[in-house]
Chain A
Amino acid sequence: MFDIRHDVLIALGGILAILVIASVVTFALRTKLSAGIHRELNQRLQSWWTMVAIFAVAISVSDIVSLIFFALVSFLALKEYLSLIPTRRVDRQVIFWAYLAIPLQYVLVGYEWYGMFIILIPVYAFLLLPMRMVLAGETANFLRAMGTLHWGLMAMVFSISHVAYLLVLPEEVNPGAGGAGLVLFLVFLTQFNDVSQYIWGKLFGRHQAVPTVSPAKSVEGLIGGLVTTTALALVLGPWLTPLDQPQSIGAGLIIGTAGFVGDAVISALKRDLGVKDSGSLLPGHGGVLDRVDSLIYTAPLFFHYTFYLHY
């Protein structure tokens, strides 16, 4: 229990300090901001406090607790996705089978069976779920049902489980901060990038980046976020991960760009479905899907980048 690394503890302390500062600033600005914006900021901050607290406990108690936590994130995200998209009544059983991929995938992480972890969903689920749909016998909207279900599994289970796999990578490669250091680096930079793109966009946003998908996203926000995230990656990378300085810059660029794309992809999906938020679990943020949208893109890309270079 609580065999938490010294460096990870310091990093968590840093996140705590950022939250304290953000809360103080929000409180100090309460008379300068409009009531609506202040309320939204407060709600968001409160959700951040909760998320950081849960996340900190999840990655510091033990690997088993961390795996259960990330499995739960996958479950909540997949459930939100499947509740938003059109599904077919005949596919109830198929959807049940799709959910079973979650415990299986995370058990594979727990056993560090990389070869199976990396093909369970792209190969086996991909081939078997349509077969189960054929047995159900309904051909109307078959392609839609098959495609949307597989996309959901890839995004919510396959992608997100890469965060968990960082935890079980061999410790000796990253003796300072261990797997928890890698997770912290990825998740913190991904979320930091979201917030900094938002702030840069609010301050200097002039040119829309993807006007038909997400009118609020600007080129200025994207570039400002990318620069800030990369600078932070350069500082944190050599300390929390096995990456050296040039490699850390690469990681920052990957996380900044991929985070933007992930966010935009989920925005496009929600626009197609005609919903604003994917849920109401996190006040001020929307649903779980709204919070992990960037992670869907950053997690596998950062994982394979680091994996290729060092493991």
Chain B
Amino acid sequence: MVRVLRWVFFVLVVRPVIMVILGLNVRHREKLPHQGPAVLTANHNSHLDALVLITLMPLRLLHRIRPVAAEDYFLSNKALAWFSTRIIGILPIPRRRTTGVDDPMTACGEALERGDILIFFPEGSRGEPEKMTEFRGGIGKLAGRNPEVPVTPIYLHGLGKALPKGEAMVVPFFLDVIVGEALRFDDGYEDFLGELRHRMEALAEEGDFVSWD
């Protein structure tokens, strides 16, 4: 039942809003993974980021896609928690490792073992519109524990204009999506983070978008 609701929500609400009100220009769509387990990583500007990434993937994989999100924000009240976990399908994790609680990455690892496709924002928070901030370590830890899982870097542009942090009104702007070559954890946590960062910056450069000042 919830699975049907989720499907209906994405087909009738999310897709029309993202494809018509906003609109996607996707480059290198063929580099997206065709099945799970896989990790999609992107720069983070807006709540719509995760919905755009879900829209990029075929509907038959919808039930497999789980955006990894902070539980203190998305589970803060019952209605939001139901909507986030059941309809959007988020995988809630604690922002910080707290003593006595399971490592946040354990739940992610289990999901990957089930063949899920995780959406992961290495910057953690949405931050300033259209500016990329430092990557936090979580993605390196996750990739290190699941070295066989491909991590696909995706650069998003335009969502910080359409719906930035702290705004409630969506203003139509085309979104540019540039998909990069997937990478796997090879040797070393720092190397992996550096390489991921490097690829994301190369994608941003490929886009060469005009400034938003």
Contacts and interface: CB of A to CB of B under 8 A. Distances in A.
A87 B23 contact: no
Interface string A88-113: 11001101100100000000000000
A93 B213 CA distance: 15
Contact of B129 (A83, A89, A99, A280): A89
A86 B161 CA distance: 11
A279 B129 contact: no
Contacts of B208: 274
B174 A89 contact: no
Contacts of A82: 172-173
A279 B213 contact: no
A269 interface: no
B101 interface: no
Contacts of A134: none
B161 A87 contact: yes
A86 B210 contact: yes
A118 interface: no
**Residue from the set B161, B174, B208, B210 with the largest chain A CB neighbour count within 10 Å:** B174
A79 B174 contact: yes
A85 interface: yes
B173 A83 contact: yes
B158 interface: yes
Given A79-B23, A79-B172, 20 more contacts: A76-B23, A79-B173, A84-B210, A85-B210, A86-B210, A87-B161, A87-B212, A89-B161, A89-B213, A92-B161, A92-B164, A93-B169, A96-B169, A99-B172, A140-B213, A274-B208, A279-B23, A279-B174, A280-B26, A281-B23
Interface of A: 75-76, 79-80, 82-89, 92-93, 95-96, 99, 140-141, 273-274, 279-281
